[in-house]
Amino acid sequence: MLLALFQALTRRKPRPAWTFQLSVVARFMRLDWDRTADWDLPRVRDEVANRPYPRKWVKRVARRDATLGGVPVCVYSPPERRGDGVLLYFHGGSFIYGSSKTSHADFLARLALETGVEIVGVEYRLAPEHPFPAPLEDALAAWRALLARGTKPEDVVVGGDSSGGNLAVCAAIALRDGREPTPRALLLMSPWADLEMPGASFRENADYDFGTREVLVRHAAAYAGGAPLDDPRLSPTHAKLEGLPETFVSWGTCEIPRDDIVAFARALRAAGVSVTEHEAPDMPHNAAFFADYHPAALAAFEATARFLGSRGSR
C-alpha cells in the first residue's frame, strides 16, 4: 500500500493548492476506495470499522453509549456545555458503513468542544442488510425519543455529512409532512442530496476526490432496496422543500457531488428556506473533516462550528 501511495503521488499531480499532507491523505483514501471497490459491502463495513482512527479530540470530552427509541447512540458532552442545545447527528458512509463511535468520533468530539453543544451520534441501521426505509425509521425514532425525554425541538439542530446529510433532510421532511415538531436548524456537510447523481462534477472532479460514481451507484442501489432513486424520500432534491428549518450547507469545489449539492442549495432557496452556504475552495468531499491538513478545510470546520454554536448553544 505504501508503494502504491508513493507511485500515485509521483504519477498524478495533486491540486496546486493542496498541502502535501492533504495530498497524501486524499490519495491514500482513493487508493483504499479503489482497492475495496468490488468487495462485499459487509466486508467493506468491517474493514472501515476496525481501522485505527485519531483520538486527539475524543480524549477531551465525555463520551457515553445510550439508546433513543431503541436506537443506539453515542453521546459527546463537552466539559463546558453552553446552554441546552443538542446536535442530533447522522454519520456518512453511503448508508453502508461508518459510525459515530469510530470513523466520525474525533470530528464529533472536536465539534462538541468548539461549540459547547452536546452531540448525539445516531447508530442507525445500515444497508444492504437494512435498506430504506430502515435508516429513516431509526432517525425518526431517535428524534421522537429525544423530545419525549424533555428536549425542546427549538434546542435541537439535526445534521449529518454525505449520506447522513441526506438522512437529516429526509427526516425533517417526514416530520414536516407528519405535522410533527421540526428541529431548530439543519446542518449539512456535503449532503448526498440526489442518489441519481446527475452532476457533471462526478466526471470533472474524478481525479481529485476520494470516491467514484461507479461505486456510489452500487451503494445507492443497496440503500434503495428496489425503490426508484428519484423517490423524494431517497433523494431530497426531488422533494417539496417549503417549510424546512433554516439550513447550513457546505461543499468542496473539487468533490464529485459538488454540482448536485449546489443544485440542492439552490432548490432550498427557491423554496423559501433560509440557507447559509459555505464553499470550500479546492477541497474534496467532507472538507471540514480535513481541518488538520489544509487552511481551507479548517475554514470549513470553523464555518460549521459557527453555525452550530449560534443555533445550538442558546
Q: What is the pLDDT of residues 14-33, one digit of tens each?
A: 688 999 899 989 988 999 99
pLDDT at 7: 46
Residue in 91, 104, 238, 285 annotated catalytic: 285
User: Is 294 among the catalytic positions?
Assistant: no
CB 163 within 8 A of CB 92: yes
For the chain, give the mean pLDDT: 94
pLDDT at 6: 52
Q: What is the pLDDT of residues 46-85, one digit of tens each?
A: 999 998 898 999 999 999 999 999 999 999 999 999 888 9
**Rounded CA separation 72/234 (Å):** 23
Q: What is the pLDDT of residues 89-106, one digit of tens each?
A: 999 999 999 999 999 999
**Is the pLDDT score of 144 beyond 90?**
yes
CATH number at residue 216: 3.40.50.1820
Q: In degrees rounded to 5, what are phi and psi of residue 4?
A: -65, -40
β pairing state of 156-161 and 118-122:
unpaired
**Is the pLDDT score of 131 beyond 50?**
yes
Would you say residue 31 lies in a domain?
yes
Number of domains in the chain: 1
Would you say residue 54 lies in a domain?
yes
Would you say residue 285 lies in a domain?
yes
Can you tell me the mean pLDDT for 137-153? 98
Can you tell me the mean pLDDT for 175-188? 98
Place of cell 457531488: 257
Closest by CA to 123, choosing from 146, 144, 102, is 102
Q: What is the pLDDT of residues 35-49, one digit of tens each?
A: 999 999 999 999 999
How far is CA 312 from its chain centroid?
A: 18
CA geometry: angle 189, 159, 214, nearest 5 deg: 45
Would you say residue 13 lies in a domain?
no
Q: What's the pLDDT band for 314 if we cut at 50, 70, 90? A: low
Can you tell me the mean pLDDT for 118-139? 98
User: Domain range spanning residue 24?
Assistant: 2-8+18-312
Would you say residue 247 lies in a domain?
yes
User: Is 91 among the catalytic positions?
Assistant: no
Whether the pTM exceeds 0.85: the reply is: yes
Lowest pLDDT segment from 4-18, 83-97, 203-217: 4-18
pLDDT at 313: 65
Closest by CA to 283, choosing from 270, 274, 293, 273, is 293
CB 187 within 8 A of CB 87: yes
**Rounded CA separation 112/157 (Å):** 13
Q: What is the pLDDT of residues 249-290, one digit of tens each?
A: 999 999 999 999 999 999 999 999 999 999 999 999 999 999
Q: Which three cell numbers stand for residue 13?
A: 499531480
Closest by CA to 140, choosing from 224, 211, 210, 69, is 69
Closest by CA to 78, choosing from 103, 108, 122, 99, is 108
pLDDT at 126: 98
Q: In terms of DSSP H, where are the helices of 64-118?
A: 105-115
CA gyration radius, the chain: 18
Name the helix (H) or strand (E) containing 174: helix 163-177
Can you tell me the mean pLDDT for 6-20? 67
**Is the pLDDT score of 13 beyond 60?**
no
pLDDT at 15: 87
Residue in 100, 162, 235, 250 annotated catalytic: 162
Q: What is the pLDDT of residues 157-174, one digit of tens each?
A: 999 999 999 999 999 999
Residue in 114, 118, 123, 255 annotated catalytic: 255
β pairing state of 86-90 and 156-161:
parallel
Q: Considering only residues 145 and 2, tell me which one the structure prediction assigns the higher pLDDT.
A: 145
pLDDT at 185: 98
Per DSSP, which regions of the chain are E strands?
62-68, 71-77, 86-90, 118-122, 156-161, 185-189, 246-252, 275-280
30-39 own/partner pairs: CB under 8 Å, 24+ apart? 30/209, 30/210, 30/211, 31/1, 31/4, 31/5, 32/1, 33/210, 33/211, 33/212, 33/215, 34/212, 35/1, 37/212, 37/214, 37/215
pLDDT at 3: 47
**Rounded CA separation 134/296 (Å):** 36
Would you say residue 240 lies in a domain?
yes
Place of cell 428519484: 230
**Is the pLDDT score of 10 beyond 50?**
no
271-276 own/partner pairs: CB under 8 Å, 24+ apart? 271/240, 271/241, 271/242, 271/244, 272/242, 273/241, 273/242, 273/244, 273/245, 273/246, 273/247, 274/246, 274/247, 275/246, 275/247, 275/248, 275/249, 276/246, 276/247, 276/248, 276/249, 276/307
User: Is 255 among the catalytic positions?
Assistant: yes
